[in-house]
Amino acid sequence: MAITYTDEQMRQLLTQYGPTVYRLAMAQLHSSFDAEDVYQEVFLKYLRAKPVFQNREHQKAWFIRVTINCCKDHLKKACRRDLPLEQQMLPAASPNEEYAALHMALTQLKEPQRAIIHLHYYEGYKTKEIAELLEINHSTVRSHLRRASKKLKKLLEGEEF
């Protein structure tokens, strides 16, 4: 028997996980256009796969893992097409100068560090949970988090801009 979703069930999923998927895609891709593409791809994968989850935390972890994988795939495709991603690096409008400075600093981090910073500070995951989500060693997560935090501090203090 195939699983089908009502409009209301999909609205609830989009409301519950949509912001997380979009923010994570923006943190990885730095482009609202690309983030929207990944957002759509993640929810299409959900509809196609019709996964069954043990609990809400398992469901959220699925959305995060699939979003990260879709972002990686998107970046691989962009590299093959030789697209100038730098032209799309800044959001259309920033709420304030601090956000713009933070966003610029985040774009200077390497991809795994950006993902870890986002999951830790924006999504509230602990380092052990991040290690499980990203399928990497717990100590690797801690070292990436430590290095990224130091680099962000230097960037925001103006030492590397």
Q: Tens digits of per-residue pLDDT, 90-143?
A: 444 444 566 677 777 888 888 888 888 888 888 888 899 888 888 889 999 999
H or E stretch at 114 = helix 111-117
Residue at 112: amino acid letter: P
Kindly state the tokens that stand for 53.
């989850």
pTM check: above 0.75? no
Average pLDDT over residues 74-90: 55
Is the model more confident about 118 or about 80? 118
The answer to whether 37 touches 83, Cβ cutoff 8 Å, is no
Give the start-to-end residue ranges of the domains of the chain: 8-89, 95-161
pLDDT at 5: 75
Axis crossing angle, helix 56-81 with helix 7-29, rounded to the nearest 10: 50
pLDDT band, very low/low/confident/very high, at 78 (cuts 50, 70, 90): low
| Rounded-to-integer distance, Cα 93 and Cα 139, Å | 37
Is CATH 1.20.1640.10 the right assignment for the domain spanning 95-161?
A: no
Closest CA to 60 of 144, 121, 130, 8: 130
Is CATH 1.20.950 the right assignment for the domain spanning 8-89?
A: no
